[in-house]
Every structure is written in C-alpha cells, then in structure tokens.
Amino acid sequence: MTADDKRREPASEHIDVSVLVIGAGGAGARTAIELAERGVDDVLVLGKRNHGDAHTTWARGGINGALGTRDPEDSWAIHAADTLNEGHFVNDPNKVETVTKQMPDRLRELDEWGMDFSRTDGGDIDQRFFGAQSFRRTAFAGDHTGESMLNTLVDRAQELEIPYRENVMITKLLSDGDQLHGAAGFDMESGDLLLFNAGTVVLAAGGYAATYNRHTSRDDENNGDGPALAYAAGAELMDMEFVQFHPTGMAVDENDPEWEPWSGRLVTEAVRGEGGRLFNADGERFMERYSPDQMELDARDVVARAIAEEVANGRGTDNGGVYLDLSHRDRAFIRERLPRMYERFQKLGVDMASEPVEVAPTAHYGMGGVAVDRYGETSVDGLYAIGETMAGVHGANRLGGNSLAETVAFGAVAGEQIAQRVDGPGTVPTRLVRSVAEPHFGDLSEMADRDGEYDVMAVFTEIQDLMWNHAGILRDTETLEAGLDRLAEVRQQTKEMRVGPMTADSFEFAVDIGFMITIAESVLRGALQRTESRGAHYRRDYPEIDSDFQKNIYFEMADLGGMTSHTEPVGTPSPAVQEALDEGHELDYHQLE
C-alpha cells in the first residue's frame, strides 16, 4: 500500500443512525433513556469498554438533590446558591438552576427504577452531609452510589432495548465547523475502521483528570477525548484551567507492589461526611488552622490546599500525605455507611475502625469542558456535550455530589431537546468523506505498527508528569510557561512513537495522547491567562481573587491552526437564587461532633 493509498483509506463499515451517543456512563445512558421514552428508536450508544464498565461506577459518595428528607428547609434555590458559592461565581447560573431544579425528580425517578438508595428509619431516601453544603442533600447508596446508579440506568436502557455497541473508540467528529454530520473511529477488538452517518452526536465521554499523574481515574479514561473531539470539530472549550484536586486520594508507598496500583485512588468524601478527621504527622487536627468553622467539610479546594501546605511544610507522612481518621465511629456504623471503603482497606491490611488511613490530594475532576447552551448543544449544529464533557455547571470548584447530579439532569434535558428535532440519520457529505474522513483513516492506518524512538507509555506518562508539575495545585507564571515549552517538546516526540496494531493498548494510548496534548495546552494557557486565585485555580504570584476576572475563558481553534482565546462575563442568578444567596445559609459543622 502506498502512502497515497493510506491517505484514502476507506472505512470497513458504515453505520447510519439518527442519534449517536458517545460514552456509556451515567450521562450517555440517561440521554439514551430520555430519547427512547420519547419515541426516538434510532439511537446508538457507544462505549470503549464492556457494557456497564464506565467511570461512573467510581463515583462513590453520593448524588445531590434537595429532597429534604433530613432537612425539610432545604430547597433547589439553596442548592443552587451553594453550587454558585462553591464555584466562586463563575458558574453559568442558568445551568446551575437547571440541575438543582431537576434533581428532586431525577432522584425519585432513579428510586422508581430500582436504585438501591440507603434509607432513613422511615423508609425515605437517606441524605448525608457533604463538604460545603448547607444541608443534608446528598443521597447515597452506601459508598457505591455511582455503581448503583449506573447499574440502574443500564437496566432501564436494556428494558427499553436501546442499541449499544462496546469496544469502539471515536477518533474524529465529521464537521464543517458549523454543522455536525457524523463521526469516525475504529473497533478496538477487530481493528476495523468505522464511519457513522449521524444527524446528531452527543458527547458524554467524561473529563480530563487523567491527564495528571496522580488521579482518581483509570489511565485509559478521562484523558480529555470528549472536549478534544469537540474542539477539533469547531466547538469552543471553556474554563479548562479549573481542575479539581480531591483532598483525599490514597497516599501509598509506590515502591510496594501491593499498594502502588492504589496511588491517588479516591477515598470518598463520604468518609469526611460521616465525621472523618484529618491529622498531620505531628498528630495535629490541622484544619483548625485553615477552616475553624467548617473544618474537614469545607470546600474541596480549601481542604486540598491545606493538605498540600501541611506536606510542603514538613508535617506530612512519609508517603507525602496526611492521616484521615474515622476510628471514633463504631465499627458497625462504618461497615454500614462505608462498606466499599472498609473492605478495600481491610484487604490491604488497614482497619478503618481502629486506625487512620493515609490520604493526599489527587486530580479528580475538570470543571471546564465544552461550551454549550442551556440544552447542552455546542456552537456546532447537531453536536451536544453533557456530563463531565461539558462546562458551566461547576464554575471554579465542584460541589461534592453534583457530578452524578449533572449527568442525569442534563441527560434528561438534552434528550428532551434532541427528541424534538430528530429528522433521521445524517449523511456525511462526499466532500467531507474525501477531505476529512478518508485522510483521517489514512492517518490511523499509518500510525498502526509504526516504528519510532519513543515508547507510547513513556510519552503518556511524560504528559501526566508535566501536568502535575506545571499545572498542579500551586501555580505561577514561571511554572506554567515552562510547562508550555515542555509540552511543545513532547508534541514533537509524538511523531516518533513506537505504536502497535489498532487492537493493541499502545494504539489506544497513542490516540489518547493526541487528545491529552490539546487538553494540556488549554489548561496551561487558561491558568496562565487567569491572573488571580479562584476556587481550584491557585496562583502563588496572584494569591487573591480579582473581582474584575469574574468571567469565563473560552478557547477555539484558529482558522490557520493554533489556539485562540477570549473572555466573556458570567450571567446573573435568578431572583429566587439571589434571595437564597442573600440569606447566607451555611452548614453548622459542629452538628457532626
């Protein structure tokens, strides 16, 4: 095969579908369910893994909604106020209101569909405290809420006989910059090239936390493929600099083969929600220094920075963390409320009921993502982005329990909107097939089995290390600029990577590297441009919040290539939400003591 033949590589299979949903986690499943229930049967959901094996299962702590089962005075407006406060007022107030208004009904709906919620003595859905929330509004299923929710959604989708295809990776959206026409990718088991003619595409492909070396995802998930695909198709990215570092990832001895795989894995916020206390290596309950009122249940950014400061000042553990202690709680209580956490540490030889566990901040969530309208549609007609792929709900810092809420709320909203406009399968115009799809397939074929100087996983790890070292919890101009310089060097290495066949893990990671480079550049540029400290974004050289920077940063691809940016001011909360903000609701932490 000549080089020219490879540039014109045809697809092995053409698939016609009205709505293509990319991502089979909570957001994708909920969208497909809404479409099916509204009579749209020409839907196809794609997943990179086996059905039901999505990152949603890793969300353990809970899902927010103002049901008021524990605190009747709670309301959707107070939930919105807490979300805006936590997001330091760069959230989109309309999207926040959409989620908080939707969630009581979405929780009841999940309950009707059979989700195994934990219950009060009276049989209602139980709700627990979560950091930075004014009332107990986090519904939960033990400490396996995401797993229970996804199982419920998958069961419902199967009841509705929604078509699903697993082990498919989408590598390119077929767009002219204004209109979306379909998608290109490959079957990860057979290596077949796939072309989807789709009238509407929904990106529900997760976020970008795994671009960091210590993170709470699997390495093959949350590499930024959703936002990067949308960006390449002509959509805008927004607020990419806001990356949430969860305070309590597992801090382990990475030289110990039993513990090393657990580095950075999430120790759910529910441990602190149920009364867990943080101590440094000197035995001090150090949150008294940083947040004497809210203590361990202050916002995630506050607690993560506090831990980072303790470690930086020599008061951390040998594994670079601090201690999280729940031993003052009864064993039976821990086993009932936190069964997965208890079992995990028991298997590793640590008894949570009698000794503390070691924790340290870990990259957990990208608040930024694709810029969308009130229904989840991007500036490219027919292209939607929802869940962690979208931006706007969380602002500068996400409220714990709002991630799962966002997936089902916007899944329902986007599904309803799409159902009103579906008009059959799309057709990729011949000009796009020849100018975009076929050359892209040629590039994929050319990359497969390529020889080169650099190992794929070494380049992958280099990007993760770069992001942790140059765009981590503590940032400054010099570090960010050095990160951009290093990223340019890594970009050159990608042209000389050794890659296996399309069915190999190395090929999948090589594709991910392309997505990660786009994401890394947008995070570094956004962090450099935002000359203030706000929420999860902390600049050592600009440590104060700047009221003139209450705006969002957008990135788009320039006509001649390269990344351009602009800013826009945020919207105004509705009168009901503003009233809740003015009332100044706040958690009385000492209810937990």
Is the Cβ–Cβ distance between 67 and 75 less than 8 Å? no
Query: What whole-number distance in Å separates Cα of residue 166 and Cα of residue 151?
Result: 16
| Neighbour-count burial of 424, counting CB atoms closer than 10 A to its CB (0-12 exposed, 13-18 middle, 19+ buried) | exposed
Task: Reply yes or no on whether 272 is catalytic.
Answer: yes
Q: How far apart are the first and last CA of the chain?
A: 71
Q: Which of 55, 106, 246, 344 is catalytic?
A: 246
Query: What whole-number distance in Å separates Cα of residue 467 and Cα of residue 483?
Result: 7
Query: What whole-number distance in Å separates Cα of residue 440 and Cα of residue 446?
Result: 10
Query: What whole-number distance in Å separates Cα of residue 265 and Cα of residue 362?
Result: 8
CB neighbours (10 Å) of residue 531? 12
Query: What whole-number distance in Å separates Cα of residue 62 and Cα of residue 399?
Result: 11
Q: Is the dihedral of CA 76, 78, 83, 89 positive or negative?
A: positive
Query: What whole-number distance in Å separates Cα of residue 217 and Cα of residue 402?
Result: 17
Query: What whole-number distance in Å separates Cα of residue 490 and Cα of residue 500?
Result: 19
Task: Reply yes or no on whether 88 is catalytic.
Answer: no
465 Cα distance to chain centroid: 19
CB neighbours (10 Å) of residue 478? 11
From 400, 224, 395, select the one nearest 304 (Cα to Cα). Answer: 400
Q: Which of 55, 144, 214, 272 is catalytic?
A: 272
Is the Cβ–Cβ distance between 532 and 549 less than 8 Å? yes
Six token digits for residue 573: 């909360």
Six token digits for residue 142: 């033990």
**Single-letter amino acid code for the residue at 62:** G
**Single-letter amino acid code for the residue at 480:** L
| Neighbour-count burial of 590, counting CB atoms closer than 10 A to its CB (0-12 exposed, 13-18 middle, 19+ buried) | exposed
Quote the DSSP letter at residue 236: P
**Single-letter amino acid code for the residue at 354:** S
Looking from the CA of 153 toward its CB, the CA atoms found within 13 Å total 31
Active site residue ranges: 246, 272
